[in-house]
Chain A
Amino acid sequence: DAGVIQSPRHEVTEMGQEVTLRCKPISGHDYLFWYRQTMMRGLELLIYFNNNVPIDDSGMPEDRFSAKMPNASFSTLKIQPSEPRDSAVYFCASSRGGQGSYEQYFGPGTRLTVT
């Protein structure tokens, strides 16, 4: 398996523009997680899905952020409109289970810069 795939790897956009980040989890993994990592706040969980259904989106910072998982092999995280404070590295991860006894497999991340 190729592991978790994310695209794009880098995104530079202007404030106010819409940004869409994409993720393909590992086949057979029932859980998908979206994280944001910054120097100030570390790695924060934004939202996670179980069998394509959003379970907990309490980490989504505000209504400008939305995430979907239309099928088991694809998820998107959208920011509309984007702001400079959204600049961060966004990771997608997948796992076989949702409990802490399951390891998470992370993608390479998308480095987002909003100017």
Chain B
Amino acid sequence: SQKIEQNSEALNIQEGKTATLTCNYTNYSPAYLQWYRQDPGRGPVFLLLIRENEKEKRKERLKVTFDTTLKQSLFHITASQPADSATYLCALAGYSSASKIIFGSGTRLSIRP
């Protein structure tokens, strides 16, 4: 069955450093990969989308890579700030409109001042 794995352990990073989160998947060939941010007590908020034919996508301090050979996506936050502290979820989907989006369990990121 399809499986998505994200860092189960919380990630603690010093402010100003680059935070790197990992999303690995098995038994799936997604056409799209999305990253969401979730703060405590709130719903997930969309951050970035990357397609299978794209290697990298950037948005301000965020960068996402998508390696379909390794079946892995990396999510980078450069110049991290305490306000970046949250849980980050990756989500995968196929081409079809009937293809459901499957979410990973998320990685909790803490940026210490």
Contacts and interface: CB of A to CB of B under 8 A. Distances in A.
Are A and B part of the same complex? Answer: yes
Interface of A: 4, 42-43, 45, 48, 50, 55-56, 59, 91, 93, 97-101, 103-109
A93 B92 CA distance: 16
Interface in B37-96: 41-46, 49, 51, 89, 91-96
30 contacts: A4-B43, A43-B103, A43-B105, A43-B106, A45-B100, A45-B102, A50-B97, A55-B98, A56-B98, A91-B44, A97-B97, A98-B99, A99-B32, A99-B99, A100-B30, A100-B33, A100-B49, A100-B91, A100-B93, A100-B95, A101-B32, A101-B51, A103-B34, A103-B46, A104-B46, A104-B101, A105-B46, A108-B41, A108-B42, A109-B42
A106 to B, nearest CB: 3
A100 B32 CA distance: 6
Interface residues of B, number: 30
Contact of B98 (A42, A98, A108): A98
Contacts of B105: 42-43
Contacts of B46: 103-105
A42 to B, nearest CB: 4
A106 B43 contact: yes
Given A98-B97, A99-B97, A101-B51, A42 B32 contact: no
A12 to B, nearest CB: 16
Contacts of B93: 99-101
